[in-house]
Each structure stands twice: as structure tokens, then as C-alpha cells.
Amino acid sequence: MRQAHGVELDAEAIAAARRNAELNGLENLTFTDAKAESLVWDTERPDLVIVDPPRSGLHPKVIETLLERRPRTIVYVSCNYDSFVREWLRFGTEYRLADLRALDLFPNSPHVELVAKLTAKTD
């Protein structure tokens, strides 16, 4: 991996990510304490984007930016089936669902965590 950039609204999570990067000797990582929709992308077309939105789903501007930049792979982590399906319908014209896993991280509840791998249909 040449470089990676993390965006997170929680300052404590950013601090933990920086500590983990340092502990693991990773120098090609940067982190920004910001909302994803306010991020100015400095990469024309990233190879991989990982998103883990709140239950309400991705901000419309993030979806728009992803569709414009067309990363080769999007890993979408979702805690809300309804928002995932709604957003998959937006991505489905440009991406194929390469893999989908449901993880029971909340036993004895109706909630599951979905992890989807979306790959661009054409390069």
C-alpha cells in the first residue's frame, strides 16, 4: 500500500488510529478529523475506499463523490439493512456486488452488521 487516508468525526478514534499506526510502524497513513462529506479528495481514482456510515447511511455528497471518483473497490460496512439496500440501488449501475457477509455482532437482537465488497463493473 502506497498510502492510506482515514476520515473520522470522532477525535478519540483518530487519536487511537494514529497510535496504532505508530505502534505498527506505518508511516504512509494520514488521518483527518472531519465529516466525510466535507473531505476534499486529493486522489483522482483511489484503488479502495472503506465506508462505515451511521445507521442513516452515507451522506448524499459522499455517494455522489464515490460515483464520480469510481474507486476500483468499495468495502461498505452497514449496521442498517434498509440504508444499505437504498444505497446499493444507487451504486448498482456502476458496481457489482462481489461479496456480502452478515455478521451477528449483537447477539439476541434483530441487528446484524453487513460487510459488502463492491467492485467497479468496468475500468
**pTM (2 d.p.):** 0.85
pLDDT attached to residue 35:
86
Active-site residue flag, 85: no
Least confident of 21-35, 57-71, 106-120: 21-35
Q: Report the pLDDT averaged over residues 24-51.
A: 84
Scanning 1-121, the segments in alpha helix (DSSP H) are: 11-23, 60-69, 81-91
**Could you give all domains of the chain from N- to C-terminal order, each with its CATH number?**
1-34 (no CATH), 42-120 (3.40.50.150)
End-to-end CA distance of the chain: 20
* Residue 44 in this model has a pLDDT that exceeds 80: no
| Residues annotated within a binding site for S-adenosyl-L-methionine | 8, 52
Q: Catalytic: which of 21, 79, 115, 120?
A: 79
Binding site listing: 8, 52
Question: CB-based burial of residue 2 (10 Å sphere; 0-12 exposed, 13-18 middle, 19+ buried)?
Answer: exposed
Alpha-carbon gap, residue 117 to 95, rounded angstroms: 10
Cα(88)–Cα(69) distance, rounded to whole angstroms?
Answer: 17
Query: Nearest Cα to 70, choosing from 53, 95, 90?
Result: 95
pLDDT tens by residue, 46-61: 888 889 999 999 999 9
Q: CA 91 to CA 118: how far, in whole Å?
A: 9
Q: Residue 1: which pLDDT band, with cuts at 50, 70 and 90?
A: low
pLDDT for residue 45 is more than 70? yes
